Chains A and B, each alone.
Chain A
């Protein structure tokens, strides 16, 4: 079966712009989580969506938002980009139940210049 697909793989944006990243989960998975990965901070949890509802949220500013569609695909949006937003953004999907394993995508590498 197809894995978790993230598009695009790479993005270069300028400060102040906004960006939308996409994640297609494994078929049948209803939970999608987003993480920001940087060399200094490691993997930081952004938010989790389950059945089109944001179920959990990390400690990121409101410039970071997301949504999930009825087919479980998810998008993440970052507005008013800052240089510090440069990172690898990872998406992970799971069935959504307690203890279900997460499957990660390859990520979208965002560079803000």
Chain B
């Protein structure tokens, strides 16, 4: 069975500090992983996907199959990064499973 684990429910960092949101997954097939973000009073939206290997709003995430991880990183946190972040795994059957989310607060 597939599982997405985000071990931190809450994460606080100071503005300008590096931030890393952890995500580990368990899946027997070839995973496709995503990060979604939900800003206050806004809808859930796609932040980035591992197949794109792109940087969005300064965030990057690298799929590490050996460690079954897909951690989200940003070198310098900004106040506008404060939001709820969800890691998600897309199975071969096109099911998108989410972790329980991490609430990031960037302290000014």
Interface residues, chain A, with chain B CB atoms under 8 Å away: 3, 31, 33, 35, 41-45, 48, 50, 55-56, 58, 90, 92, 96, 98-99, 101-107
B96 touches A42 (CB 8 A): no
Classify the interface of chain A: helix, strand, loop or mixed: strand
B94 touches A48 (CB 8 A): yes
Interface residues, chain B, with chain A CB atoms under 8 Å away: 32, 34, 36, 43-46, 49, 51, 86, 90, 92-101
Q: How far is A90 from B42 in the complex, measured between Cα atoms in Å? A: 12
Minimum CB distance partner of A101 in chain B: B46
Q: How far is A31 from B97 in the complex, measured between Cα atoms in Å? A: 15
Q: How far is A92 from B101 in the complex, measured between Cα atoms in Å? A: 18
A104 touches B96 (CB 8 A): no
A107 touches B43 (CB 8 A): yes
A55 touches B94 (CB 8 A): yes
Chain B residues within 8 Å of A102, by CB: 46, 96
Chain A residues within 8 Å of B95, by CB: 45, 48, 56, 58
